[in-house]
Structure 1
Amino acid sequence: MRLRDPAGRVLHLGYCTNVHPAEDLRGVVAQLDEFAVPVRERLDAPVLGLGLWLAAPMAAGLAADPAGRRRLRRELAARGLEVVTLNGFPYRSFQDPVVKHAVYQPDWTSRERLSYTLDLARVLADLLPADAVRGSISTLPLAWREPWDTGMAGRAARRLDELAKRLAGIEAATGRVIRVGFEPEPGCVIETTAQAAARLAGVDTDRLGICLDLAHLACAWERPADALRTLWGAGLPLVKVQLSAALESAEPAALREYAEPRFLHQTRNPDGGAADDLGQALAAGLPAPWRVHYHVPLHLRPEPPLSATTGVLREALAELVAHGACDHYDVETYTWNVLPPAHRPRTSQELAAGIAAELAFARDELHRLGVRP
């Protein structure tokens, strides 16, 4: 969906397709019909934005195949869909039965991560609507925190330098601006905005910046206004914002049904206590209250004594809109299919309805801040 903020800037709002498993062109197009078109129709939106996730083999294939890129663009347009942003964090197999730490591989010390991101940039340059100002790609915050040493930091810095130069080359060849945003996440080399300012000092900020995930921000117990001041003070642009909410509870036992085998659910308390997964936090008796990296549907209220960090999302949106800080907003709830059974969609129609309800929630929150169609 396209919106306009109080200053007249165009904002793009969509949903991230990493909730769906397909990893080839045929499967991705089928998912457009199964989910994205019903979501658009439920919202009565003339055009729906997608934060498209393309697994690495598919991205490589499309990057080498201009006809394939043209076909994907036609398939999107025929369904009233558009793409200004790609999710380049998961490399492949994101909806496998067990993902956990595998999502951080390959990391930014590797040639594979650089190649994947550049493939995505080449694809996005051809998918962007003609009137879009720029495209964005979100990626992991360099690496998982262990192992990490000065040698790895040096290799990653060289990859980022090459990334910026190659993005400039894509712009020169296509006329399209593509920026990459590094996404702070609990447990990673860049977990907080302060670490982002330190680890990304000196990068080319015309091409590289931050993807701010609001569930991750909440799990770091950062106040949105303070976090944004830190980023702006470091000169790091907000390339993209992921609209998400984490779980919170002062009674950890109530979280047991959310401990599941697919994704990592980093758990934090406000005093710096930390566990790398919810099950570990439960076993260790980490002092409460907890915030858990578990993306929950934006429009739903977990049953007490659980709650969601929707308040952090609202605070962040107010700051972002007031400062005109970002123009790409992506609803990213990839955990629908691992929710406790009572809350899990049973059919594709129920999943599409849930995604549409999340987007309606996000749209209405933006409307309250003066953002209009």
Structure 2
Amino acid sequence: MLSYCTNVHPAEDLAGVCAQLARYAAPARVELGVDTLGVGLWLAADLAEQLATDHAALRRLRSELDAHGLAAVTLNAFPYRGFHDPVVKHRVYEPRWTEPDRLRYTLHCAEVLAELLPEGGRGSISTLPLGWREPWSAHDEAAARRHLDEAAAQLRTLAGRTGRRIRLAIEPEPGCLLDNVADALGWLPGCDTDHIGLCLDTCHLAVSFADPTATVRAIADSGIDIVKVQASAALHVDDPVAARAELARYAEPRYLHQVRERAADGIRSADDLPQAFDQLPGTGPWRVHFHVPVHWAADSALRPTTDVLRDVVAALLDPRPDIEVETYTWNVLPEQPDDLADGIAAELAFTQRLLDTLEAP
């Protein structure tokens, strides 16, 4: 089922999450004309713990989902809390998988999702690619391995207890320990790959300048499962020097916007858009980690990397993984929609048309 990720909304308590489902998800479902709309819930750490331990609270959330024709098929457990603080930047990668708090949060999310899934259902939880690339030591490596092994063991136990299989999906991201898919494919074979696979974020993939079709084939050849796809688009610009003024509008203070420049001798990198203006020569095309709406029709030098999303979806093998539209940046876009629910519905409609076209005989 196609879903949209609720990390676009700021609420971190149960009342706020229920309110935003009514305010945004329910109208989007009506506008799309579907009986059931998938949502990829983002639950901040404190709320995930409450729902995992308070049956009444969890019943309230399930009741709200049912009342609005919504189905929770996946969770986004990448941001821990404070994802809509005025400044997030590197804090989104904390706690790392070296920390017990990351394991505890992920397992709380798994308990919640197991209760929200239908009988015999399967679900996915996306998570960060270990942490930011530095600092990282042999001790950190061992701790991350240990915690992910424990996560897999607990997911196996949860499946036996509830009949609902939930898998963890590690999401490569530029600048992190697992910067790209190749890094993840090199690291994951040491894990329990029955319960841990990949989250393929098509914005992140585009930023890396990797070939999307070849990447999907490499993943299939590796034996690692694509557990989840986050349907998203990065910013692409062919001439970043000429388009500097337009690009500067996207240099906002909340989120980190990693930049990659394709050059004749390889890929150059900067950790954020303001640094890219100073550190990168701008002689080749740039891709910027700024999630722009996948249906955006650009009328300037900037364009979305929707072609990467299209190529990934076309290359996916059956059974198709969970697909979640993840544009969490609506509230920091230079130009914002009059109604966020309309924007969410438009993205979902665009993505569903794309899926339908690729499935047509």
| Pairwise TM-score range, normalised by the shorter structure | over 0.9
Q: Distance in 2 between matches of 1:296 and 1:371?
A: 27
Matches within 5 A, 1:1-373: 12-130=1-119, 132=121, 134-252=122-240, 253=244, 254-270=246-262, 271-287=266-282, 288-320=284-316, 323-324=317-318, 326-340=320-334, 343-346=335-338, 350-370=339-359
C-alpha displacement at 1:161, in angstroms?
0.7
Matching residue of 1:7: none
Aligned residue for 1:85, secondary structure, equals strand
- The answer to whether the 8 Å contact 1:297/1:333 transfers is yes
Aligned residue for 1:201, secondary structure, equals helix
Identity rate, percent: 54
TM-score, structure 2 normalization: 0.95
- The answer to whether the 8 Å contact 1:54/1:88 transfers is yes
Deviations along 1:292-313, one digit per CA (max 9) or x if unpaired, are 0001011112332111111111
- The answer to whether the 8 Å contact 1:193/1:230 transfers is no
Matched residue type, 2:281: L
C-alpha displacement at 1:235, in angstroms?
1.6
- The answer to whether the 8 Å contact 2:120/2:163 transfers is no
How many pairs align?
A: 353
Q: Distance in 1 between matches of 2:170 and 2:329?
A: 21
- The answer to whether the 8 Å contact 1:337/1:345 transfers is no
Deviations along 1:134-182, one digit per CA (max 9) or x if unpaired, are 0100000011001112221111001111111011111111111010000
Q: Distance in 1 between matches of 2:220 and 2:148?
A: 20
Compute the RMSD of aligned alpha carbons: 1.3
Deviations along 1:166-221, one digit per CA (max 9) or x if unpaired, are 11111111111010000000000011111011111221111100000000000011
Q: Distance in 2 between matches of 1:72 and 1:303?
A: 41
- The answer to whether the 8 Å contact 2:270/2:280 transfers is no
- The answer to whether the 8 Å contact 2:83/2:92 transfers is yes
C-alpha displacement at 1:250, in angstroms?
1.9
C-alpha displacement at 1:282, in angstroms?
1.1
Q: Distance in 1 between matches of 2:290 and 2:18?
A: 28
- The answer to whether the 8 Å contact 1:84/1:129 transfers is no
Deviations along 1:13-64, one digit per CA (max 9) or x if unpaired, are 0100000000011000000111001100110111000000000000011111
Q: Distance in 2 between matches of 1:143 and 1:359?
A: 30
Aligned residue for 1:107, secondary structure, equals coil
TM-score, structure 1 normalization: 0.92
Q: Distance in 2 between matches of 1:165 and 1:186?
A: 28
Aligned residue for 1:188, secondary structure, equals coil
Q: Distance in 2 between matches of 1:325 and 1:307?
A: 31
- The answer to whether the 8 Å contact 2:217/2:315 transfers is no
Q: Distance in 1 between matches of 2:221 and 2:26?
A: 41
- The answer to whether the 8 Å contact 1:83/1:129 transfers is no
C-alpha displacement at 1:344, in angstroms?
1.1
- The answer to whether the 8 Å contact 1:87/1:139 transfers is yes
Aligned residue for 2:189, secondary structure, equals coil
